[in-house]
Amino acid sequence: MWGEAYILESLLEMYEATKDTSYLAIFIEHANAVYNKRDDKASIKDHLGNVGVGWLTGGQFTFGKPITILDDIQLPSLKLQAVRYGNNNRTSFSIDNNLDDKSFSIEVWNDKIGAKRVYSELTMQNVEEKINTNLSPSSLIMVRSLGINIPARVISRRFKTFKTQLKSFHNSIICTPFVRFFVLVDKYNLGKYKDKAKLYSQFAEECAESYLYLWKDELTTGYFLVEDNKYFWMSNLPVPHNILSANGTFFLYLYLATGNELYKNIFEKIASKISLSITKNSSGKIIQNYAYGKTYDGWKNWSGSIYKNYIGSKHIEDNSHFSHTMRFILEAQKHFNLFDNIVLQSLVEIFYSSYSMVNLSHKVDGTEVKSFSNEAAGAFSLLGIMDHSIVDKCFLIYKKNYVDSQKGVVLLGWARLANMSKQISDKISTDE
């Protein structure tokens, strides 16, 4: 469902650029499909049999379901679980045994990331120590010993992943275009769409209300936690900056639609936290880290995670994720003037640090130039309101890479380019 939000957003961008209501007709057709697939509307149950307000995750994000391995006399021997931070639905394993010396080996591989690990000379006494020591979000599996006999041989098995909701992760991105539609209908007095817009806005608000318990209000800032469900590597941890920003945009539009001061408090405190997150590294480059709080700092002997110890996620944000942060900053500035010029100019500096030879580097500091984040050029085109030449550069990136692409995020990028080009043209005409 996440990808559907990009298509919905692209249709709203095109309406704003052209005022052609045929885009809104297509939006409603597409939005109805997304709306009707919401779990509580379609009576879709998670793996526990519960129906929630929102949408179940795809298998890419959650842990693998534990698999019990029997011994040769059909008694439980081991329990294996795929526990990497992503793509556990692409993790498989095989087991070989040696009945003479009561040892065995486990081979694990993930065909999505090309990783493979062989654990050999295992016994029922040492298997947990050998595999679970230094367990981290990069580990492929976790194991538990269930019996006294070594496991039977397994030729090959692949993990299936949990179907659960990650409300604070996904709802904001999926729901934002529904509330934005309401705001546009009100702004342009589109009475024909008023009832549908009200329906969408109300159901988006229901989604927001379903995870307000995960909001952590601090003195001047705030953030959302990931629900503590133990099915996702970040369970019980703060959402990363890109998802925090996506929530900021969502609650900003909820406030525009409803005037609810609670929503205003949330997006303003998110804005304060995002403002503090944009800093300079030792080389003077403007950066933002992917994570903050416990996710960034790591922990020792923490019972809130399956990973007992973790050094922390210290990596710099990539431009694809940063698209959500940039969008929130510009929306919050446009509607409420929440960011100062230093932050706004930092966005422009990040673009020029990342841009080279009609490509965008993967990281916001201009590093990892061989792993491009060119799709993010659509979001960077939003900076055209401050620097018109950025739109031209972003257009060249898209022209070079995405002329025939039907991917949702690319369609949104093209629509943003069209809308920003129209805004710049209108501004030039007005100034003349």
> Which CATH number fits the domain that encloses residue 269?
1.50.10.20
Distance from C-alpha of 83 to C-alpha of 74, rounded to nearest angstrom: 26
pLDDT the model gives residue 132: 95
Indicate if the pLDDT at residue 427 is higher than 90.
no
pLDDT the model gives residue 237: 96
DSSP string, 144-159: EE-SSSPBPPEEEEE-
Is residue 368 helix, strand or coil?
A: coil
Task: pLDDT band for 25, please (50, 70, 90 cuts).
Answer: very high
pLDDT the model gives residue 39: 87
pLDDT the model gives residue 60: 84
Indicate if the pLDDT at residue 307 is higher than 80.
yes
Indicate if the pLDDT at residue 431 is higher than 90.
no
Where is the domain boundary, 138, 158, 178?
158
| Judgement on whether residues 192 and 97 belong to the same structural domain of the protein | no
Indicate if the pLDDT at residue 54 is higher than 70.
yes
Q: In 3D, which of 58, 73, 253 has the Cα closest to residue 163?
A: 58
Determine the structural domain holding residue 232 and report its residue range: 2-57+164-427
For residue 89, being part of any structural domain is answered with yes
Tell me the mean pLDDT in the region 306-333: 95
Contact 221, 269 (CB under 8 A): yes
DSSP string, 208-220: HHTTGGGEEE-SS
Tell me the mean pLDDT in the region 150-159: 97
| Mean pLDDT score across all residues of the chain | 94
| Judgement on whether residues 168 and 53 belong to the same structural domain of the protein | yes
Task: pLDDT band for 372, please (50, 70, 90 cuts).
Answer: confident
pLDDT digits (tens, 9 = 90+) for 86-124: 999 999 999 999 888 899 999 999 999 999 999 999 999
pLDDT the model gives residue 207: 94
For residue 62, being part of any structural domain is answered with no
Where is the domain boundary, 107, 130, 158?
158
| Judgement on whether residues 207 and 317 belong to the same structural domain of the protein | yes
pTM: 0.94
Q: In 3D, which of 280, 305, 289 has the Cα closest to residue 228?
A: 305
For residue 223, being part of any structural domain is answered with yes
| Judgement on whether residues 82 and 187 belong to the same structural domain of the protein | no
Q: Which residues contact 372 (CB under 8 A, 6 or more apart)?
A: 359, 360, 361, 362
Indicate if the pLDDT at residue 242 is higher than 70.
yes
> Which CATH number fits the domain that encloses residue 83?
2.60.40
DSSP string, 233-277: TTTTSBPPHHHHHHHHHHHHHHHHHH--HHHHHHHHHHHHHHHHH
Contact 248, 332 (CB under 8 A): yes
| Judgement on whether residues 219 and 332 belong to the same structural domain of the protein | yes
Tokens representing 31 are 């939005």
Contact 331, 252 (CB under 8 A): yes
Is residue 105 helix, strand or coil?
A: strand
Q: In 3D, which of 353, 405, 362, 411 has the Cα closest to residue 383?
A: 353
| Residue 370 parent element (H or E) | none
| Judgement on whether residues 126 and 243 belong to the same structural domain of the protein | no
pLDDT the model gives residue 429: 76
Q: Whose structure tokens read 């209300």?
A: 209
Indicate if the pLDDT at residue 408 is higher than 70.
yes
Q: Whose structure tokens read 């019990």?
A: 68
pLDDT digits (tens, 9 = 90+) for 283-305: 899 999 999 999 999 999 998 99
Tokens representing 331 are 């929306």
Q: In 90-187, where does DSSP find H-type helix?
A: 127-132, 167-187
Where is the domain boundary, 158, 189, 206?
158
pLDDT digits (tens, 9 = 90+) for 204-238: 999 999 999 999 999 999 999 998 888 999 999 99
Q: In 3D, which of 355, 347, 368, 360 has the Cα closest to residue 402?
A: 360
Single-letter residue type at 152: A
pLDDT the model gives residue 432: 63
pLDDT the model gives residue 61: 86
Total domain count, the chain: 2
User: Which of 61 and 27 is assigned the larger pLDDT?
Assistant: 27
Task: pLDDT band for 56, please (50, 70, 90 cuts).
Answer: confident
